Amino acid sequence: MIVEIGHYALVLALMLAIIQTVVPFVGVKSGDARQIAMAPNLAFAVFAGIALSFAVLTWGYVTSDFSILNVWENSNSQQPLLFKFTGVWGNHEGSMLLWVLILALFGALVGLFGSNLPPTLRAMAISVQGLIAVAFLGFILFTSNPFERLSPAPLEGQDLNPILQDIGLAIHPPLLYLGYVGFSICFSFAIAALIEGRIDAAWARWVRPWTLTAWGFLTAGIAMGSYWAYYELGWGGWWFWDPVENASFMPWLAGTALLHSALVMEKREALKVWTILLAILTFSLSLLGTFLVRSGVLTSVHAFATDPTRGVVILGILVFFIGGALFLFALRSSSLSNGGMFHPISREGGLVLNNLVLTTATATVFVGTLYPLLIEALTGEKISVGAPYFDATFVPLMVPLLLAVPFGPLLAWKRGDLYGAAQRLYVFAGVALLIGLLTLVFIEGMHVLAVIGIAIGVWLLLGAFAEIIQKSGWPKAGASVAAARLRGLPRSVWGTALAHAGLGVCVLGIVSVSSFQQEEVLRMKPGAITELAGYTITMKGFEERQGPNFVEDVASFEVHRDSDYVATIMPSKRIYTARRMPTTESGIFTTGFSQLYLALGDPVEGTDEIVVRLWWKPQVTLIWLGPVLMVIGGLFSLSDRRLRVGAPKPSAKRRQTLAAAE
Amino acid sequence: MKRIFAALAFLVLAIFAAHAVTPDEMLDDPVLEQRAREISAKLRCLVCQNQSIDDSDASLAHDLRVIVRERLVDGDTNEEVMDYVESRYGEFVLLQPRFSARNLLLWGTPVIGLLLGLGAIAFLFRSRSGAAPVNRLSAEEQDRLSKILGEGEESGR
């Protein structure tokens, strides 16, 4: 009965979403204020319906109700509660439900926090948001219904895929979806603005907090996923340029470009047309990612052709929204006037360079990801585009941008002084080069690329704070004056600095691991000793353990440095009972920013030896701490008073004068 | 295995637990072994999804790793090894496609993208220099806008 309520709530949400699409739209077109005012409440109602439905499915998982097909396929009564819970979105149907839940959440948030928006713009944006919800609710109900029943209900479920039985599943998909789907707000605002035919700096200011929020979640989600893959997969890789990863990386690249171009639009009313286009493209790439992953087209064009229902429906949704949006854009964009003029050497110019590189990088990842599909569809031949291609194209593309980043915030709007900026930065450049060269002293047999990479990382990290130092007036102004000025700086300035520094930190981690990582693959038996990066690692022995829904062989390794005990690392191999599926759990010891990473291979037949893989990963955690800094930077910007979602409210005194004036 | 990935929307976690190269396969000569690893990272495990033979524990990947090492021991250069493997398995085995007419768009995208972008930017700068910016907002609208924008000193106009 409860299940039917969830199912019904989903159908109800679809009906309400249709009303959410139609009524505000008609209201805006006919100028009916009551219909316009209904928009937020409709958005709340749709969210409530989907939330109820989601809660019911969660209830089914938590109580192991195997009369629900979806629960039976992806859960097991022996699973720890956390994984019963996260199993809700560890499958196709449930993850789509999470997708629309977040979509509706954002719609509702616009209703909640949009009181400072012009009512017609808000109503129109909520209407567009409703249309997206209609499409995906329809998709769920007609092709991927999570409430399908199974009769008679089996006694035991099939278990969640063991690889997914990890805390990572609890965090990664919700964060990623909040990012992905969060960009739908920018999309809806762009469409609403195109329909209304008026776009100005205020529009950019309204959209900015949403862009920042979505971007922050997406950044955190991708970084979290990368770390999850790193420790779960057992061979220490952290980014694979896999199509599934690229599907999330493309919206991130485009979203980052959008974040920067919207800044120009907000401050200078320039780049309006381009910003609108980017807002459309960013969410289009999110939709494309949904299609790529959901349709199975990535495996092969033929695999897609054998069971095309879901794929075709998503493709239809994709074509409708992207095509429709671009059509509307083509129709209306010429009527948008472009505002502020600027010199190529200026803050705007720097942001244009940012957009040029990020957009080209997005295009490169896009073409690289889809090229095998294109070639197979056109000629029937199969080719592979993997990590070496992306390393060879993406990295050289990004280098000029990374070099330019510290200059950007130092250039003035309209017309900047490149020479002046260079004068403020040359010290940082010198320090960066010096540190890069210093690595040569400490590590033997190193190549030029690592020196350049380290120097770029340090350059970004230090250069990020150049704007703050400049604005504080230090060292010319005394320390106390400088400190006072620092406190007075808008938070967005700190946000920019932290995010750019995070980029530098991430680059340092990547370069450090790819240049200085040490690896050892060998056979070991209890008592065996090996050395890696100055650590002595002794294999102690094996122990069998019984987990809630798995059995595992845990090996213990003692780590010593200069005969001092440092740590015990315990990697293991598990067999999950329900699916008889083996997994490898790596053992990681973190010291400073670096990690010692151990993974077990197969036992060597006829001996008591086992294959052991050891890695020394210097500064590897910087790869993920960088994005954490970026997200913190995003939060700083988000809390800047001019962007606060509740609108920058005038002070009480000013409100009085305003009231008096009216 | 494909199903698992299909079941996971947008999960960055993409590839299955990999075991990769084993001590038995490894060459005694560290220089040759290093070259073997470099080559392996550029060859696709044909039965896997987007995995190099260096990362895969499939038996086919094992066979390929052994072949690569045999050729290296026989004195082949890296290119000769790649060519040899490609001649047996086709271009599909290369994770980095060749520069060829068919792959023109693939390899051209970064360059064409940059050039097109630069061209568009240059064109816009040229066509717009001279034209005075027009303020289409009426005084009343302007007033409302600055009210919405709040403090005023940040509005950048």
pLDDT tens digits, residue range A600-610?
A: 888 888 888 88
Of B6, B107, B133, Cβ closest to residue A341: B133
| A584 lies within 8 A of chain B by CB | yes
Read off the pLDDT of residues A154-176 as tens digits, 9 standing for 90 and up. Answer: 888 888 888 888 888 889 989 99
CA A527 – CA B21 distance, rounded (Å): 23
- pLDDT at residue A308 in the model: 74
Read off the pLDDT of residues A179-236 as tens digits, 9 standing for 90 and up. Answer: 999 999 999 999 999 998 878 888 888 888 999 999 999 999 999 999 988 888 777 7
Identify from B2, B3, B5, B10 which residue to disrupt to test chain A contact, counting A C-beta atoms within 10 A and taking the largest count: B10
- pLDDT at residue A153 in the model: 87
Alpha helices in A296-346 (DSSP H): 301-306, 309-318, 324-332
Q: Chain centroid to CA A418: how far?
A: 33
A460, with CB counted inside 10 A (0-12, 13-18, 19+), is: buried
User: A657 CA to chain B: closest CA distance, Å?
Assistant: 13
| A114 lies within 8 A of chain B by CB | no
> Each residue of B119-146: b (16+ CB within 10 Å) or e?
eebeeeeeeeeeeeeeeebeeeeeeebb
| A470 lies within 8 A of chain B by CB | no
Cβ separation A180–B10 shorter than 8 A: yes
Nearest CA in chain B to A385: B95
Q: Write out residues 9-68 of A within 8 Å (CB-CB) of B.
A: none
Chain B partners within 8 Å of A176 (Cβ): 10-12
> Each residue of A43-70: b (16+ CB within 10 Å) or e?
bbbbbbbbbbbbbbbbbbbeebbbebbb
CA A15 – CA A141 distance, rounded (Å): 12
Chain B partners within 8 Å of A168 (Cβ): 13
User: B121 CA to chain A: closest CA distance, Å?
Assistant: 8
Cβ separation A601–B19 shorter than 8 A: yes
Q: Write out residues 480-509 of A within 8 Å (CB-CB) of B.
A: 490
Nearest CA in chain A to B107: A393
CA distances from A644 to A43, A204, A255, A269 (A): 22, 13, 20, 20
Cβ separation B10–A92 shorter than 8 A: no
| A344 lies within 8 A of chain B by CB | yes
B55, with CB counted inside 10 A (0-12, 13-18, 19+), is: buried
- pLDDT at residue A538 in the model: 94
- pLDDT at residue B33 in the model: 86
Of A161, A352, A602, Cβ closest to residue B19: A602
- pLDDT at residue A353 in the model: 93
- pLDDT at residue A478 in the model: 81
User: A352 CA to chain B: closest CA distance, Å?
Assistant: 8
The model carries a pTM of: 0.89
Cβ separation A521–B23 shorter than 8 A: yes
Contact partners, residue A64, CB within 8 Å, separation at least 6: A71, A75, A76, A77, A84, A157
- pLDDT at residue B156 in the model: 39
- pLDDT at residue B15 in the model: 38
Identify from B3, B5, B8 which residue to disrupt to test chain A contact, counting A C-beta atoms within 10 A and taking the largest count: B8
Domain range summary for chain B, segments of one domain joined by +: 2-93, 101-131
| B20 lies within 8 A of chain A by CB | yes
CA A280 – CA A288 distance, rounded (Å): 12
* Block mean pLDDT (10 aa), chain A, length 662: 92 96 94 91 96 96 92 89 90 91 95 88 94 95 91 86 84 92 94 87 87 95 91 81 89 96 86 91 92 72 63 89 93 75 86 94 94 88 89 93 92 86 89 88 74 93 90 82 87 93 96 88 90 92 89 93 92 86 88 92 84 92 96 92 51 46 40
Nearest CA in chain A to B49: A299
Q: What is the ipTM of this complex?
A: 0.82
Cβ separation A388–B95 shorter than 8 A: yes
- pLDDT at residue A337 in the model: 67
- pLDDT at residue A164 in the model: 83
CATH for B2-93 is 1.10.8.640
User: Tens of pLDDT along chain B (157 residues)?
Assistant: 333 333 343 333 333 444 567 777 888 888 888 888 889 888 988 877 777 888 777 788 888 888 899 899 888 888 999 999 999 988 888 988 888 888 899 999 999 999 999 998 888 877 765 444 455 566 677 777 777 776 444 433 3
CA A14 – CA A85 distance, rounded (Å): 25
- pLDDT at residue B132 in the model: 46
